[in-house]
A and B are shown apart, each in its own frame.
Chain A
Amino acid sequence: MIDKTRSGIDFFDQRFGGIFRHRATLCVGRRGSGKTIAALHALMQSIREGVRGLMLSAWHSADLSIVADEYGFPLSTAVDSGQIILLEYAQFGPEPELENRHVLPPGSFMEFEEIVVANGIRRVVIDTVLPWIAIRQEERLAKHVYSFLHALERMEVTAFLTMPRPVSPLAFALKNRMEKQVPVVFTLEVDSDNRRHLLVNRYLGQSVLPPQMPIAIEPGRGIVPLAVPQAVPDLARPLPPPPSLPPIMQKSIKYSAAFRT
């Protein structure tokens, strides 16, 4: 039996019936495209479902809470009540030498797994997933990604992963590998006129996917559908500036240079 749960992005869930429970969903987009907002939707869905969620983020927790509040997510309250656990890459994350340790699990992953189990976490949001899966050896990429995704499944959590848009051949190889193994993949796009779209790249079981869907990111509401294209710019609701904090682990994530963050 196919078991689905909500992604937390309402119009997406209405269109597709949600995402696959205990599997990963991948959100790709360049910096400022709204990946973190999508991640917050996914995180707060755990509260709607009455389960505990965890977010591992490159953001400083205090900054993330401010952004979350701006877009209508009561993150601070959820953290204080123990419904949500926040982990920062700055304090917790793959060791810098992960790239050289392909055959052994990083100690931080085992620690991460213990936190998930000990706290009864059912939904995990990783913004960005890059530090875990980005290795330079392309010939090992497939096995590395496979092992990571299956380790998440072994934890029996519903995972929401974000990834910067790739700009190098190796980064594209990584994204393509993820797309082959993750059942639901979508891209958040923002064009030069600041128009935003959500494009579903893969939805397992659906051979015909919809065209890109116009969206807006609004204060107090997060990601919402834009039913009518912005033909008359004066009538359009002004878009808030996109989040622009640099990833905290930027120095450690050497591979991120291959991505447009």
Chain B
Amino acid sequence: MAKILIIDDNDSVRNYLKTVISRKGHEPVTAATCQAGLAQLNDPSIQAVVADLYLPDSPVISDWVAQLKQHAAGRPLILITGEPSEELAGQIRSDDIAAFLTKPFELAFIHKLLERALAIPEPQIAAPPNVTKSP
């Protein structure tokens, strides 16, 4: 089990990620602002960070990412965004950011990225429901 920090100002997204992360056996903690998130990162027991790029109190993206990286201090960092800019894509290639996810569809992959970032084996998925076997 890992303690995961979620930084997002949207209640729905925060609660969704919290639910998904809890179901996977991790302990989610949340923050709705940049400042609150950075403060939470002082907790050394937090093992990974999932953060929205655009928050009401966020500085320009590059500064926000730099602050996150500084406070994360090597802990895996997963960014959430809409359509990522070239600037962000370039930064992700050059920096030690684990990944970025786009809303809404890619949020479904958050647990896989976390598991990869934390090097936790992915669980086996049960047989799917509602599969039409024959017409």
Q: Which residues of B contact A65 (CB under 8 A)?
A: 135
Give the docked Cα–Cα distance between A15 and B128 (Å). 38
The residue of chain A having its C-beta at the shortest distance from the C-beta of B82 within the complex is A143
- Taking a contact as CB atoms closer than 8 A, the residue among A79, A87, A103 that contacts B12 in the complex is A103
A104 to B130, Cβ gap below 8 A?
no
Given the interface contacts A87-B130, A103-B12, A105-B108, does A147 sit within 8 Å of B135 by beta carbon?
A: no
B131 to A62, Cβ gap below 8 A?
no
Give the docked Cα–Cα distance between A132 and B108 (Å). 14
A75 within 8 A of B: yes
Given the interface contacts A103-B13, A117-B125, A154-B109, does A143 sit within 8 Å of B130 by beta carbon?
A: no
| Tally of contact residues, A, Cβ under 8 A | 41
Q: Which residues of B contact A117 (CB under 8 A)?
A: 125
Give the docked Cα–Cα distance between A61 and B130 (Å). 13
Secondary structure at chain A's binding surface: helix, strand, loop or mixed?
Answer: helix
Q: How far is the CB of B4 from chain A (nearest CB, A)?
A: 18
A247 within 8 A of B: no
A148 to B105, Cβ gap below 8 A?
yes
Residues of B34-65 at the interface with A, using a CB-CB cut-off of 8 Å, are none
Residues of B within 8 A of A (CB): 10, 12-13, 16, 82-83, 102-109, 125-135
26 A-B contact pairs sorted by A residue (CB < 8 Å): A61-B132, A64-B135, A76-B134, A79-B132, A82-B133, A87-B130, A91-B132, A102-B104, A103-B10, A103-B12, A103-B13, A104-B107, A105-B106, A105-B107, A111-B129, A115-B128, A115-B131, A118-B127, A118-B128, A119-B128, A147-B106, A150-B105, A150-B106, A151-B106, A151-B109, A154-B106
